[in-house]
Amino acid sequence: MLGALAGLLGGALLVAGCGQQPASSPSPAPGSSSASPAPGIAVGDSPVQAANPTSGQQAGGGSCTAKDFKVDLNVQPDRPGILLMAVENTSKKVCKLNGWAAVAPMDASGSTFNVPTKKVEIPGSPTQVDLPPGTNAFAGVRIELGSKADDRVATGFDVTLPGVSDPVNGNIVGTDGTDSNSGLYAEFPVKSMQVGTLQPAAQGVTVFD
């Protein structure tokens, strides 16, 4: 095994690493304004594929593709099942995002599987995020954890951003800063999920009811 396994939620969520210490959440993108937290409003059972940004739903990412983004899913200290999604523009152009990412759990074989997923207006309604190169957008993901005996276990997640046709493989980052690209192994027995809106700042994105 890659490192020692440390249990979160009585062993339901396992993250490998040595001497886990809480890691700070990604900093808001330079020049970004904070989104004001608002009560979560459930708006559907699956992410919208495309819409007019003025309608409060989601719009395309312009000319940006999956290869222009890096997605980190940061495990939150002492909050089993809560992930902070940080979407970085790794290209040399401005990318535009508006709405919800589609998050698909993936098992150890690399196959994605379906679970009940609801998009929610947390911390608020969709807003267009213009990402210059090297900056980030943020969203929260809440996983209702089950048991490894009764529910399918995710060891990773594919993330499809609004207006982008192909998924990005999410890099899971543990509380000690180790990640799935450098040996971290995580197990999430998934019953269902909630995904919040993409925002220009991390404030409030993981404040689920």
Structural contact between residues 89 and 164, judged by C-beta atoms closer than 8 angstroms: no
Tell me the residue type at 183.
G
Q: Beta partners for 5?
A: 16
Rg (CA), the chain: 16
The β-bridge relationship of strands 69-75 and 168-173 is: parallel
pTM over 0.75: no
**pLDDT tens, 34-84?**
444 443 444 444 333 333 333 333 444 458 999 999 999 999 999 999 999
Q: Please tell me the distance from the alpha carbon of residue 96 to that of residue 50, in angstroms, as a whole number.
A: 13
The β-bridge relationship of strands 168-173 and 129-131 is: unpaired
Q: Hey, what are 54's tokens?
A: 């003025």
Instruction: Report domain extents, the chain.
Output: 40-195
Q: How far apart are the first and last CA of the chain?
A: 35
Hey, what's the torsion of the CAs at 152, 69, 38, 209, to 10 degrees? Answer: 20
Name every residue whose Cβ is closer than 8 Å to that of residue 92 and which is 6 or more positions away in sequence: 133
pLDDT of residue 178: 94
The region, left, alpha or beta by phi > 0 then psi within -120 to 50, assigned to residue 30 is beta
Residue whose tokens read 């939620």: 9
Tell me the residue type at 207.
V
Instruction: For the chain, list residues with pLDDT below 50.
Output: 1-61
User: Dmax over Cα atoms in the chain, in whole Å?
Assistant: 49
pLDDT of residue 181: 87
pLDDT of residue 89: 98
- Residue 62 backbone dihedrals phi, psi, to 5 degrees: 65, -135
Q: Please tell me the distance from the alpha carbon of residue 172 to that of residue 123, in angstroms, as a whole number.
A: 22
Tell me the residue type at 145.
L
